[in-house]
Amino acid sequence: MMSKKFARRCAVALTVPALLVTAACGSEDDKEDSVKVSGKAGEQPKVSVGKDAKPPKKTVAKTLSAATGKEAKVAKGDFVRLDIVAKTVGGQSSQDLINTWKPDPGAKKGAARTQMVEQIGRESQLPGAVTKELVGKKPGSRVQVEGTAQTLFGPQAAQMGMDPKQGMVWVMDIVSSTRTDKDASAKGDQESVEDGMPEVEVREKKPASFTIPKGEKPPKKLRSQKLIKGDGPEVKPGEGLVAQYTGVAWEDGEVFDSTKPQEKKKGEKEQPQNKDGVTAFQVGTKSVISGWDKALAGSKVGDRVLLVVPPKEGYGSPEALKQAQQSGQQHPLAKKNLVFVVDVVDKV
């Protein structure tokens, strides 16, 4: 469900011909680092890359600032929200791969910035070789990782069209972290659904089951209803929302995505790609479909939310259609009305 805009941005930057050069990071043998990072953790760092840098023989990581607060240390399986500056190393000039400190294009003054929300040990938008270096660090810490496309992305580097020798540096600030039971769900009595909304049964070990109103046309505008009202903290725009969810298309009621295991349907050759329990994403920053941004930002931990999302608020949004025109590939759900049930189980 999450937008992979950062993954796309990174891949595109690394496949620009001008950047496909034998790259470099400071080697362990250098007396002077090829990458200089200045600034306090929690503030935008200045990352300066030397022109004569050489790639390290292996991934090199160091803690630039170690937080000492009461928060728990990051462990495998935890969700983290990160600010990141990632740059190429080597070639004529260093190029930004990611910079979450920069305001999003067209964003209003004071609007939440897009940050990275990841689960340690589960590759999503960032390579696991980078995020694993956050283990043992506390929120408020700043960590630097240097390597090449090959050492950080592994076999995926070639698959994504990257030059395996392309050097890069990642400077990550841990904004927050949380540890959530992968089977967590909203608790409490579920309210009756409103007229015109699908019935839903949330199941413990399987995707939720929906009953679409017979003969009813889907609503033309986004609709949402809290089936369970939580009493936990509010998930504000810019924060990460940790969720269990299931999504189906109104037109056929078939599950297309869920955080719970899906069974292979009759006639299908491949087992569906299953998520391993709860997932997390940033809300209020266009990191997910606009229907989710509008309906879920401001939710409270413990809420269960039922949504019906029209195409223009889902994968058929003007932005999605523009991307499809550029790539020549339209999302298979671009013309579908989407139905979701989302349990808000934590925030990060």
What single-letter DSSP state applies at residue 246? E
pLDDT of residue 287: 94
Query: Which of 199, 171, 11, 194 lies closest to 99 in space, CA to CA?
Result: 171
Residues 44 and 108 in one domain: yes
For residue 116, give the 3-state DSSP assignment. strand
Residue 28 has pLDDT above 50, yes or no: no
Residues 303 and 332 in one domain: yes
**Are 346 and 78 in contact, with CB atoms under 8 Å apart?**
no
Residues 153 and 236 in one domain: no
Residues 19 and 157 in one domain: yes
Q: Taking the alpha carbons of 330, 119, 140, 175 in that order, is the dihedral positive or negative?
A: positive
Residues 121 and 217 in one domain: no
Q: Which of 178, 211, 227 is the last residue of a domain?
A: 178
Residues 131 and 250 in one domain: no
Residues 6+ apart with CB under 8 A from 17: none
pLDDT of residue 37: 95
Residues 32 and 84 in one domain: yes
Q: Which amino acid is at 188?
A: G
* Residue 296: HSE in the Cβ half-sphere, 13 Å Cα cutoff: 38
Residue 194 lies in a domain: no
Residues 45 and 143 in one domain: yes
Residue 190 lies in a domain: no
Query: Which of 314, 238, 317, 312 lies closest to 282 in space, CA to CA?
Result: 238
Residue 192 lies in a domain: no
Residue 36 lies in a domain: yes
String of b and e for 181-193 (b: at least 16 CB within 10 Å)? eeebbbeeeeeee
Output the domain CATH number for residue 205.
Answer: 3.10.50.40
Residue 257 lies in a domain: yes
**Number of domains forming the structure of the chain:** 2
Which tens digits make up the pLDDT trace of 237-253? Answer: 999 999 999 999 999 99
The pLDDT confidence band at residue 32, using thresholds 50, 70 and 90, is: very low
Residues 134 and 239 in one domain: no
Residue 82 lies in a domain: yes
Q: Which of 146, 178, 210 is the last residue of a domain?
A: 178
Q: Which two tokens stand for residue 298?
A: 């401001």
Residue 191 lies in a domain: no
Residues 163 and 231 in one domain: no
Residues 235 and 128 in one domain: no
Residue 233 lies in a domain: yes
Which tens digits make up the pLDDT trace of 50-102? Answer: 888 777 889 999 999 999 999 999 999 999 999 999 999 886 678 899 999 99
Q: Which domain holds residue 303?
A: 199-347
* Backbone phi, psi, residue 306, to 5°: -100, 130
pLDDT of residue 10: 53
CB atoms within 10 A of CB 264: 10
Residues 155 and 287 in one domain: no
